A = this chain, B = another copy of it.
Amino acid sequence: MPTLNAFYAQSGGVTSVINASAAGVIETARRHADRIGTVYAGRNGILGALAEDLIDTGLESAAAIAALRTTPAGAFGSCRYKLKSLEKNRREYERLIEVFKAHGIGYFFYNGGGDSADTCFKVSQLSQSMGYPLQAIHVPKTIDNDLPLTDCCPGFGSVAKYVAVSTLEASLDVRSMAATSTKVFVLEVMGRHAGWIAAAGGLAADHGIPVVILFPEIPFDQPAFLARVDALVKHHGYCTVVVSEGAHHPDGSFLAEQGSKDAFGHAQLGGAAPVVAQMVKEALGYKFHWAVADYLQRSARHIASAADARQAYELGQRAVELALEGKNAVMPTVERTSDSPYEYRIGSAPLDQVANAEKFMPRDYISADGYGISDKGRAYLLPLIQGEDYPAYRDGLPVYVTLQNHPVAKKLPAFEIAK
């Protein structure tokens, strides 16, 4: 069989373990040097392919690639860019094929979420539609945990662990202060459409913390919410609210859009947390504090879940094996076989069923009252935050690798990328 090169790129919002998937792809490819030549990484995702801006990962040392396992964010750069359909922008696909042909690329590994799965699926169809032999495998990644056909998505477990730990720690702080100061703490977490991340805050409730979760799946009911907060404060002396950025009113408008304006009349600056905190203050008079975790939550490799980091690597590894088995248009998946003890196997799913589908929290993972997680939700979440996988430290800070990212010499004329 001829030796073909591989293309690998990172897409969409990055995570604290997406580089572990990159390590899985690159190390596995290196172990099959008889079949796979060089892994070229796209600089800034698929844009790197369109711009023929390729990185020669073959020039990185084994130690540097291994260090990706404990380095957060996207080592090759990521992008938010979705290919249009073949009908609408045929020249982009032609360009991809020119670039792949010029660099002997026969394997395409795309590491991303739902939109990226769509891009990967379109690329996987190029063999048939444009006569260029290519195998495209999608490596799942999204903190939002909203890809279908896989039990979970790499990146999510680590955010869940960050949110659960942070909720527990900040709640202990509030509990200490509640007698004379802050009684309600509001933590805003990511998840525009699905409440998986917010749900992780519910794990702190198992440690005696009164937690109220505002899910995007449950339309906000202000009087009921305030009554709940009030009851918890009266009983426990304090409470913690974990609000998803996607929490919204029954009419669909986000809590974060509640119309705050600056002195110049410009639209509101900030998130759901300050809105909820202010609401509590006005209705109940309790002193509050609020935090918005934003990028901190998805880059917090220092508190990554060992289970998550391991799966991220395994799915990258499996993607290469699937390619070597001749597969195209598939995504390796996590198939859970047992909650406790946690057991899973790596399976695979056809990409056309993954692309553009979103997996929401099942209603029965949420408690009946809508403000917490159920036993089922807990049984789902707990295995995903198991284990610590600390990075090495030097001089007080984690040792995160920055690759050399040597560019591959261009062979083609420049290409203008559609905005």
Binding site for B on A (CB under 8 A): 10, 13-14, 16, 43-45, 47, 71-75, 77-81, 161, 164-166, 168-170, 172-182, 185, 187, 203-204, 207-208, 258-263, 266, 268-271, 273-275, 277-278, 282, 289-296, 298-303, 305, 382, 385-388, 390, 393, 395-398, 400, 402
B295 and A74 contacting across the interface, CB-CB below 8 Å? no
Whose C-beta in chain B lies nearest to the C-beta of A180?
B79
Give 28 CB contacts A-B under 8 Å.
A44-B180, A47-B180, A73-B175, A74-B176, A78-B176, A79-B177, A79-B181, A161-B396, A165-B302, A166-B296, A166-B300, A168-B400, A169-B299, A170-B296, A172-B299, A173-B299, A174-B295, A185-B295, A203-B396, A259-B262, A260-B260, A260-B262, A270-B270, A270-B274, A271-B274, A291-B296, A387-B396, A388-B393
Asked if B77 and A176 make an inter-chain contact with CB atoms under 8 angstroms apart, the answer reads yes
Contacts of A177 in B (CB 8 A): 13-14, 74, 78-80
Residues of B contacting A396 with CB < 8 Å?
A: 161, 164, 203, 305, 382, 385-387
Contact in complex: A294, B295 (CB < 8 Å): no
A78 vs B32: C-alpha distance when bound (angstroms): 60
Question: How often does this chain occur in the complex, in copies?
Answer: 2
Q: How far is the CA of A339 from the CA of B319 in the complex (A)?
A: 49
* A300 cross-chain contacts in B, Cβ below 8 A: 166, 169
Residue of B nearest to A169 (CB): B299
Q: Is the CB of B263 within 8 A of A258?
A: yes
Contact partners of A178 in chain B: CB under 8 A: 77
Q: Which of B185, B260, B296, B388 contacts A169 (CB 8 A)?
A: B296
Say which residue of B75, B168, B302 sits within 8 Å of A303 (CB atoms). Answer: B302
Please indicate the chain B residues that have their CB under 8 angstroms from the CB of A179 in the complex. Answer: 43-44, 47, 77, 79
Across the interface, A181 reaches (CB within 8 A) one of B80, B168, B175, namely B80
A294: chain B residues at CB < 8 Å are: 170, 289-291
Cα of A71 to Cα of B292 in the assembled complex, Å: 23
Q: Which residue of chain B has its CB nearest to the CB of A287?
A: B80
Report B-chain residues with C-beta under 8 Å of the C-beta of A270: 269-270, 274, 290
Nearest-CB residue, chain B, relative to A204: B397
Q: Is the CB of B262 within 8 A of A295?
A: no
**Inter-chain contacts of A71 with B (CB < 8 A):** 172
Tell me the nearest residue of chain B to A168, going by C-beta: B397
In the complex, A248→B77 CA distance in Å?
35
Contacts of A185 in B (CB 8 A): 295
- Check B295 against A293 for contact (C-beta < 8 Å): no
Q: Given the known A-B contacts A260-B260, A268-B260, are A176 and B14 also in contact in the complex, defined by CB atoms under 8 Å?
A: yes
Contact A172 B400 (CB under 8 A): yes
Q: Beyond the given A14-B176, A172-B299, could you list 11 further A-B residue pairs with CB under 8 A, ordered by the A residue number?
A: A10-B176, A72-B173, A73-B173, A79-B179, A166-B296, A173-B299, A185-B295, A203-B397, A259-B263, A270-B270, A271-B274
Given contacts A79-B180, A169-B300, contact A292 B290 (CB under 8 A): yes
CA distance A79 to B237 in the complex (A): 13
| Residue contact B302 to A169, C-beta cutoff 8 Å | yes
CB-CB under 8 A for A397 and B291, given A263-B261, A390-B390: no
In the bound complex, what is the Cα–Cα distance between A72 and B303 (angstroms)? Answer: 16
Least CB distance from A417 to B in Å reads 10
A291 (CB) vs chain B CBs: closest residue = B294
Q: Which residues of B contact A259 (CB under 8 A)?
A: 262-263
CB distance from A375 to the nearest CB of B (A): 15
Residue in chain B with minimal CB distance to A290: B294
- State the CA gap A187–B293 with chains docked (Å): 9
Beyond A302-B303, A382-B395, whether A266 also contacts B295 by CB under 8 A is: no
Chain B residues near A78: list those with CB within 8 A. Answer: 176-177
Residues of the B chain whose Cβ atoms lie less than 8 Å from the Cβ of A395: 382, 386
